[in-house]
Amino acid sequence: MRIPLLAILALLALPACGSQETLPTSTALPRPVVSLVANEVLRDHVLLVWSVRDGESYRFEITRQNRSEPWKHLAAAVVVDGEIRIEDAGVVPGQRYRYRLRIIGAPADSFLSETEVEIPL
């Protein structure tokens, strides 16, 4: 039995069906869900703790801003036991600081969390 070449090509062009192994799968990681769960603000340091869900595969960047200064890289962090913890010992009493958390490699304006603290005198 001879099958015309066009019929074979038409069969090859059809999408695969059958088992799940033939279905395309997404390799995109879920976007982490982040929430600030604790902060300790003292005269000589700030401790920030974020709860993170679905973030174990990512590295994060924490940036800091003081008054009208530009944002500066403060630290890189990974999720440990569902949390990101950062201690900033470079603060000055009486100053106000803002902190931002984002995934390393994400666009510069894609922050997952932002918080502001005032250092006591």
pLDDT in tens, 39-85: 999 999 999 999 999 999 999 999 999 988 999 999 999 999 999 99
Q: Tell me, what CATH number does 82's domain have?
A: 2.60.40.10
Specify the residue for token string 């603290």: 117
Query: For the chain, what is the domain count?
Result: 1
Task: Tell me if 12 is assigned to some domain.
Answer: no
Range of the domain at 42: 33-118
Q: Which one is predicted more confidently, 102 or 26? A: 102
Query: Does residue 69 belong to any structural domain of this protein?
Result: yes
pLDDT in tens, 88-112: 999 999 999 999 999 998 887 889 9
2, part of any domain: no
Residue 52 domain flag: yes
Full DSSP string of 25-52: ---PPPPPEEEEEEEEE-SS-EEEEEEE
Task: Give the pTM.
Answer: 0.74
Distance in angstroms (rounded) separating the CA atoms of residues 92 and 101: 21
Question: CA-to-CA distance for 92 and 118, rounded, in angstroms?
Answer: 10
**Domain membership flag for residue 3:** no
Which residue, 100, 12, 92, 8, is CA-closest to 46? 92
Identify whether the C-beta of residue 34 lies closer than 8 Å to the C-beta of residue 50.
yes
Comparing 27 with 50, the larger pLDDT belongs to 50
Residue 48 CB-half CA count within 13 A: 25
Give yes or no for a contact between 85 and 49, defined as CB atoms under 8 angstroms apart.
yes
Residue 1 pLDDT: 52
Residue 100 within a domain: yes
